[in-house]
Each structure stands twice: as C-alpha cells, then as structure tokens.
Structure 1
Amino acid sequence: MVKLVLLHKAGSIYEDEPDRVYDFPRAYLKAVREAVGDWVVYYEPVKAGPRGYFAVAKIAQVIPKPRVEGRFLALIEAGSFLPFDHEVPRLVGGRAWEAGLMTQTGQVKKGGAQQLAVRRLPEAEFAAIVGAGLPVDLPEREARRYSATGEIDEGAAPFERPLIERLTSRAYRDIAFRRKVREAYDYRCAISGLRLRNGGGRPEVQAAHIRPVEHRGSDSVRNGLALSGTLHWMFDRGLLSVAEDWTVLVSRNKVPGEVVDRLILPGGKLWRPKDERDWPHPENLRWHRENVFGQRLLDGPTPWN
C-alpha cells in the first residue's frame, strides 16, 4: 500500500466528490491501485484556489468508470473522509511539504510534478501534513475556545494518540466535524436563521449529519447542517427535511402550526453557507427525504410539549 496526494478542485468536469469518489485517467491507475486500503490527502491546484491541502480520506476500491474508456473511479471508504480543521498551505517558510516538489538546490519546482493529479506521498510527509491540518490537541482547543480563562487544566493535556488512531476515533471526528460545520454556517441555525450564544459566548447551534454515519454518511461539511438543539432533534426524527429547491419540508401532521411559525426562517428556505462548496450535497438531502422524512415514529414527549 502507499499513500497519495489527490488533486481536486470544486466544479471539476469529472465526477469527483471527495467523500465518495475520485475520477482519474489510466495514467494514474497503477499508483491508485497501490493505495487501495490506505490513506490519501486532497490538494487544491494553484489555479483552482488558495486552499492547499484540505482533507484526508481512505481508498476502498478502484473500478473502471462505467461507459467511459480510459477513466477509473477510486471509491472512498465510507466514514473515512475528514476535512482538515484548517487548510494546510502549500508552502511553509518557502518550502513545499513534499520533497518531490523541491529541486536539489532548494527551490520549489515549477509545473511538472506540481500538476500531477496523483502523487505518491511518503509516510513522514503524510503525517506532517495531516498533523498540521488535524492537530492532536483539537479536543483541547475546542474546550479552551469557550472557557472563561481561555485555559484548560494541566491534567487535561492532549493525549498523544497515534495519527491513524486519531483519524478513526469517533470522538475526535465528531469534534472536527462540529467545528467545521458550525464555522461554515457562521454559527447560525440553517432552518431558523438564529445565531444564538449562551452567557459564556458558546454557540448554541449544533452540527447535524444529514445522512448518519451509521448509514454510510460522511463527515464532510456537505453532509452537515448547523441546527439549534430542537431543530436537530426534529431533523433526526424525520419531522423536517429539505427539498431540492432548499425549501424546508415539515411533517405537518406531527408538528403544530405554531411551532413551524416560531422555528422556521420566514420564507421557509434553508439558510446556506457563504461558500457554495459547503452547501449540503443534493444526494445527501435526497437520502434524508427518502429514508428519514416522515418515516419515524415519535416515542415520548416532544420539545414543544
């Protein structure tokens, strides 16, 4: 097995969706096949934007692309995709993270290697890039962000969890997902439009998976919605969903009209992130409409009772 860098840009003409599939030509088939079962890092080409390295995922399988000669699809292992907490710049101190992008005289190579859509990535360079984008102390940073002093107890020092163990830890991934989704939505509820904080400045909004992880949903921001606690509860129980035109759907035989009037943004449309790359993926919303909306029985009291 081998680790790779995969170039990806939003709006690509190819069928790329980083948390699901990577579309590539035959020229890279050998390298991608070698990476099956191993991890890859996504990288935004210079001409596509400023992000640099922005996410990590694991390749599960490689198949020929149906009805397209000479192209192949790398299928991403369900639940493995994780966006970096912050994008890792291409250069640090004038040097590239990848030794293969540097000349023997210490200059960054122009064109050529930088333009390869697939690049092999040594273990040490993979660890350095992912460690920069997903720091080991991410849980402590999140706890410190809203503490009164901005500090945490000495006893809560970060546990030096090995990199791959960190990438597969549900607790760590939940924190990373929550940070990215709430930031993308500017800490505003996508359904009510409200941006509330408690007395300590902590955002009240939560991060909801559209397609749950246990049903092959990913930790991509495009599989997330920032929702208040009540609306998160309602969304998970199929009382709410989102139509193709971003209209908020309501199971009106289960939700009183006065609740709808109080909780949903006037106009009834979903509030979306400023960056279109973070908008909910239509396929995730379709899955929720077809598999959750209106299909759950309510047991026990509801938030409005």
Structure 2
Amino acid sequence: MANAVFIQNPDSIYSDLPGLRYNFPSTYVNMVRETVGDWVVFYESKQGAFGYVSAQKVVDLVDDPKRKGWYFAELDPSTLLQFETPVPRVDKQGQTYERRLMGADGRPYSGGLNTSAVRRISPKEFAAIVEAGLAETEGPDALPRSPVVGFAEVQAPYGDAPLAAGRVRLLSDRAYRDAAFARMVKAAYGGVCAISGLSLRNGGGRAEVQAAHIRPVGDSGPDIVPNGLALSGTLHWMFDRGLISVAEDHSILVSHNKVDLATVDRLLHPSRKLILPRSRRDHPHPDYLRYHREEVFGRAA
C-alpha cells in the first residue's frame, strides 16, 4: 500500500465522480494499484482551488468499460473528507509539501512531475498535507471541534507512522466529519438557506441553517460541499424525507400530494430556485441531485 496525490479538477473532462471514482489512463495504473487499501490526497490545479482539497481511501481498481486503456480507482465514499481550506503546495516555510516538486534552488518548479495526474508521496508528506488540511475555519459559522481520543496535538513532533495513523483516525471519526462538513457547507452558502433564502442568526451571530447531505451518508454520500445544502431546520427535515428536491435546472420540486400550497408559499424563496454558493466549485453536483430525485424524492411520507 502507498499514499499518492490524485489531480482532479471541478470541471474534469474525464468520467470522474467526486467521492466515488477517479478516472485515469494506463500510464498510472501501477502507481494507482499500490494505493488500493490506503489513503490518497486530491489536488486541484489552477482550474480549481490550486491546492490539496481532500483525502480519501482507495478500495479497488477496475477497467473503464467505455474506454480502452483507461481505468477507475474506486473510492470509499464514507472516508472522503474535504479540507476546510485548500492547502497550497508550499508550506509556511516556503517548502513544497511534495519534496520532489522542489528545484535545486529551493523553489517549487512548474512542469515535469508537477503536471502528472498521479504522484507517489511518502507517509510523512501525506501526514503534513492532512495536518494542514484539518485546520479549522474561523468565524461565526465555525463549530467547536470535538476531542478525539488518541489524536496527537497539532504542535507535537512527528515521525512518519504515528502521525499518519492519528490523522487517519481523525479522518474516520464521524463526530469530527459531521462538524467539519457543517462548517464548510455553512461557509459556502454564507449562512443562507439555499431554498428559502433566509439568513437567520442567533444571539452570537452564528447561522441557524443546518448542513444537509444531498445523497445521504447511509447511501454512500460523501462529506463534501458539492454533496451538501445549507437548509433551515424545517426544510432540512422535508428534504431528508423526500418532500422536496431539486431539479436539473435547480428549480425546487415539491411533492404536492404531501405538502400543501400554503406551506410552499411560506417556506420557499419566491424564485422557486436553489440559491447557489458564489464559488462554482461548491455548487451541488448534478449526480448527487439526480440521486436525491430518483431515490429519495417522493418515496417517504
């Protein structure tokens, strides 16, 4: 097993589905095979966040049935965790996290290995990237972090294996993942309910919206902003129970045999369309919206 970096941009031209599969050519098949059963880090180039954005576990490698010489890295959706803030390729000391991307003059270089879609990284490099990626966002939408037993303090000195193992435990902790997911979704939507358009704050200025998974966690839905919506408590309840959903054009769908028109008028934004985050990379992924329409909408009372 081995750690690696996978390059994946929001507007990928490949048959990727964030959280479920990673499409790549035969050039990298041996390298990707080494990662099966281990963790990888995803990196977005200038077309995306221009940094390391998430970590996830690879569970299998299969042929791409539609494209000869291409493959899929099958990913465990329950392990995907988006970093709250993209990690740049250079740390605070000016050193690249991936040491092989640093030139002889001590400065990061462009081209060459830097453009490879898949790159091996050491356990120590993986741990350092995840360490930086787990830093919490601050502000009114931030939530307190729950302590995790056995997790090393941020400033603790590290060797390869102990820190990597501690980070993996934290990446897999449901309480931490829920809190991080909530912070990211609230921040992406600016504390505004994506369906009502309301922005309610408590006495401390914290947003009252909740973070809803579009494809439920129980149905292999990942903890990433494109699989989330910021919703008020009532609309979150309705969305989870399939009383409302979102069409391909982002218009709001309502199960009218279960929700009366007066309720719709009170709860929905006058446009009857989803209010999207400013950043396109945070927009709901069409495949997750499709899953909700087909598997959740209208199926529960």
TM normalised by structure 2 equals 0.89
* Aligned positions of 1:1-305 closer than 5 A: 1-45=1-45, 47-92=46-91, 93-135=93-135, 138=136, 145=142, 161=151, 162-297=166-301
Cα distance in 2 for partners of 1:143, 1:166 equals: 24
| TM-superposed deviation, 1:105 | 4.6
Q: Is the 8 A contact 1:18 1:81 kept in 2?
A: no
Question: In structure 1, what residue type is equivalent to 2:21?
Answer: V
| TM-superposed deviation, 1:104 | 4.4
TM normalised by structure 1 equals 0.88
Residues 53-72 of structure 1 deviation map (CA, whole Å, 9 limit, x = unaligned): 11111111111111312111
Instruction: Classify 1:48/1:286 alpha carbon distance in 2 versus 1 (closer, same or farther; 3 Å).
Output: closer
Question: In structure 1, what residue type is equivalent to 2:70?
Answer: R
Q: Is the 8 A contact 2:245 2:253 kept in 1?
A: yes
Residues 25-66 of structure 1 deviation map (CA, whole Å, 9 limit, x = unaligned): 111100100100111101122x42453111111111111111
Q: Is the 8 A contact 2:82 2:223 kept in 1?
A: yes
Instruction: Classify 1:184/1:108 alpha carbon distance in 2 versus 1 (closer, same or farther; 3 Å).
Output: same
| TM-superposed deviation, 1:103 | 3.3
Question: In structure 2, what residue type is equivalent to 1:64?
Answer: D
Partner residue, 1:302: none
Instruction: Classify 1:207/1:145 alpha carbon distance in 2 versus 1 (closer, same or farther; 3 Å).
Output: closer
Compute the RMSD of aligned alpha carbons: 2.2
| TM-superposed deviation, 1:214 | 0.8
Instruction: Classify 1:90/1:31 alpha carbon distance in 2 versus 1 (closer, same or farther; 3 Å).
Output: same
Partner residue, 1:303: none
Question: In structure 2, what residue type is equivalent to 1:63?
Answer: V
Q: Is the 8 A contact 1:146 1:201 kept in 2?
A: no
Cα distance in 1 for partners of 2:170, 2:124 equals: 16
| TM-superposed deviation, 1:255 | 1.7
Larger CA Rg, structure 1 vs 2? 1
Cα distance in 2 for partners of 1:5, 1:266 equals: 44
How many aligned positions are there?
286
The 3-state SS of whatever aligns with 1:53 is strand
The 3-state SS of whatever aligns with 1:28 is helix
| TM-superposed deviation, 1:96 | 0.5
> Percent identity between the aligned chains?
50
| TM-superposed deviation, 1:174 | 0.4
Question: In structure 2, what residue type is equivalent to 1:21?
Answer: R
Q: Is the 8 A contact 2:87 2:129 kept in 1?
A: yes
Question: In structure 1, what residue type is equivalent to 2:2?
Answer: V
Q: Is the 8 A contact 1:191 1:270 kept in 2?
A: yes
Unaligned runs of 5+ in 2: 152-165
Cα distance in 2 for partners of 1:158, 1:201 equals: 27
Question: In structure 2, what residue type is equivalent to 1:114?
Answer: N
Runs of 4+ in structure 1 over 6 Å off: 141-144
Question: In structure 2, what residue type is equivalent to 1:285?
Answer: L
Question: In structure 1, what residue type is equivalent to 2:68?
Answer: E
Instruction: Classify 1:49/1:279 alpha carbon distance in 2 versus 1 (closer, same or farther; 3 Å).
Output: closer
Unaligned runs of 5+ in 1: 298-305
Instruction: Classify 1:215/1:158 alpha carbon distance in 2 versus 1 (closer, same or farther; 3 Å).
Output: closer
| TM-superposed deviation, 1:146 | 7.2
Question: In structure 2, what residue type is equivalent to 1:118?
Answer: V
Bigger shift: residues 94-103 or 221-230 = 94-103
Residues 71-125 of structure 1 deviation map (CA, whole Å, 9 limit, x = unaligned): 1111111211111011111112322011111234523233111111111110011
Cα distance in 2 for partners of 1:177, 1:190 equals: 16
